[in-house]
Structure 1
């Protein structure tokens, strides 16, 4: 049975701010909608499910994020996820220029958790906390620069 990844879904507290963050990084907005009704409650498993949603796509066309801002039931605030917690961990992007990507993130108030590290002269890597506390990883492939 073939299987493909459709998207990664993330609940956010401010849909518009999160769209702005990811589109500034280079993703494109595929569409927006508001979903509710019995089908939405059944599919998601929440009574009275009602959310604003947006789908964003990576420039290469292979990855999508589906963002949800819950109208009902109320979104539940939790402590920001830590890199070593069990469960949804992070969203990772390969970028051509990590410093340029960090400058875009900084305009949205999103800074590295600690700094930029180099892994075996292969990658520059950093984790940052994006909108709604989403952990975002940027990775710059240093081998591309040497090619």
Structure 2
């Protein structure tokens, strides 16, 4: 049961979605829905801190709720056929925000892994659609022996991984 407590009051946790910030929401939706096959569930925004009342402590709504002062954002929730949900968010403000994707080794660096039947064929197909692959990882020992993984950047430079 989600949201209930057990083990001395520890809540039960279930992943609802993963969020990633994208430079252009419409282009990201075209890729994630049109190329990867996700379905757009809903879209919200633009939501602008300048249009929302400040809290009793003087912070604007965005700073108080998402930790970004003066933000203006639009988001869309998408879902893949297996039920996995990803929230795509485009920030139009604040100015001066970091615009380069984090590396996998950076704090906050991340990737979304997709299970496919044939990693190399999927990578070739995605490359034709604007993705940039790294070299495949052929795993020859350990619990994943015989598997192939491959990191690939989506058209915005965000990391994806293909696994078989």
TM interval, shorter chain, is 0.7 to 0.9
Counterparts of 1:26-65 in structure 2 under 5 Å? Answer: 26-34=37-45, 35-37=47-49, 38=52, 39-61=61-83, 63-65=84-86
> What is the CA RMSD across the aligned residues, in angstroms?
2.1
Structure ID, larger Rg? 2
TM-score (norm 1): 0.79
Answering whether residue 7 of structure 2 is matched by residue 7 of structure 1, we say no
In the superposition, relative to structure 1, how do residues 9 and 33 fare at CA in structure 2: closer, same or farther (>3 Å)?
Answer: same
In structure 1, what is the Cα distance between the partners aligned to 2:76 and 2:160?
A: 18
1:132 aligned partner: 156
TM-aligned CA deviation for residue 100 of structure 1: 4.1
5+ long unaligned stretches in structure 1: 141-147
In structure 1, what is the Cα distance between the partners aligned to 2:136 and 2:122?
A: 12
In the superposition, relative to structure 1, how do residues 95 and 77 fare at CA in structure 2: closer, same or farther (>3 Å)?
Answer: same
Question: For each residue in 1:45-77, what CA deviation from the matched residue of structure 2 results, as whole angstroms up to 9, or x when unmatched?
Answer: 22232111111112111x211111112213422
5+ long unaligned stretches in structure 2: 1-10, 53-60
TM-aligned CA deviation for residue 110 of structure 1: 0.9
Counterparts of 1:1-147 in structure 2 under 5 Å? Answer: 1-23=11-33, 24-34=35-45, 35-37=47-49, 38=52, 39-61=61-83, 63-74=84-95, 75-78=97-100, 80-113=101-134, 115-120=135-140, 121-140=145-164
TM-score (norm 2): 0.72
Paired residue secondary structure (2:30): helix
* Structure showing greater relative contact order (alpha-carbon pairs closer than 8 Å, 6 or more residues apart): 1
Count, aligned residues: 137
